[in-house]
Chains A and B, each alone.
Chain A
Amino acid sequence: ELKVEQNPLFLSMQEGKNYTIYCNYSTTSDRLYWYRQDPGKSLESLFVLLSNGAVKQEGRLMASLDTKARLSTLHITAAVHDLSATYFCAVDIRYGNNRLAFGKGNQVVVIP
């Protein structure tokens, strides 16, 4: 059974500091997605990581993928309040069928 584990599930961040959140998955996959969700809102796509060693950056967020370790990280640089949200990673578990398995999410709160 596929498991997608994110940790920590809850993280309180101080503004201006750097943090990393993690996504582990238990089966082979060739792509991994990161999404953001604000409370009561829908999901916003952040990154698609397609290959081992892939790194994508957007603003203060940087995502990377290690397919051998089955690990993706989302690094937050100089956290700001606007980054408070729940971050989900999702793994494509059936080739060619867009069947995604989501982790439980990392709930991030950035405090002054």
Chain B
Amino acid sequence: DTEVTQTPKHLVMGMTNKKSLKCEQHMGHRAMYWYKQKAKKPPELMFVYSYEKLSINESVPSRFSPECPNSSLLNLHLHALQPEDSALYLCASSQIRDKAFFGQGTRLTVV
């Protein structure tokens, strides 16, 4: 199994809503990531978990809250988002310092 599975694939949410993005991998990878990607731009790193601990937070606003319940799962909790947060959110996993496998992404629209 070399897949990273993200749900949902599409999400439309209002600025007062609370929602969560989910990511799952069963490759035994010990690093998991959240990236944000705007159209025609490179991915921007948001968070890195290493061995289930948050190791990098790239100064992401607190309306984004990551969670790593176990070594296979990664969540991104969303609350009070702004329209400019609309983007493709990509989850990835890897062994430490190895190539990352990316999920198919969640296309988020904030209205």
Contact = CB atoms under 8 A, between A and B. Distances in A.
B74 interface: no
Contact of A31 (B90, B97, B102): B97
A98 B104 contact: no
B96 A98 contact: yes
Contacts of B31: 98
Given A43-B92, A96-B96, 8 more contacts: A41-B104, A42-B103, A45-B102, A88-B42, A92-B97, A99-B45, A100-B100, A102-B43
Contacts of A99: 45, 48, 56
Given A97-B50, A99-B45, A42 B56 contact: no
Contacts of A31: 97
Interface string B87-98: 000101010111
Interface residues of A, number: 21
A37 to B, nearest CB: 9
B55 interface: yes
Interface in A69-102: 88, 92, 94, 96-100, 102
B97 A98 contact: yes
Interface in A11-40: 31, 33, 35
A81 to B, nearest CB: 21
A105 B95 CA distance: 24
24 contacts: A31-B97, A35-B102, A41-B104, A42-B105, A44-B102, A45-B99, A48-B99, A88-B42, A92-B97, A96-B96, A97-B48, A97-B56, A98-B33, A98-B48, A98-B50, A98-B94, A98-B97, A99-B56, A100-B45, A100-B100, A102-B43, A102-B44, A104-B42, A105-B42
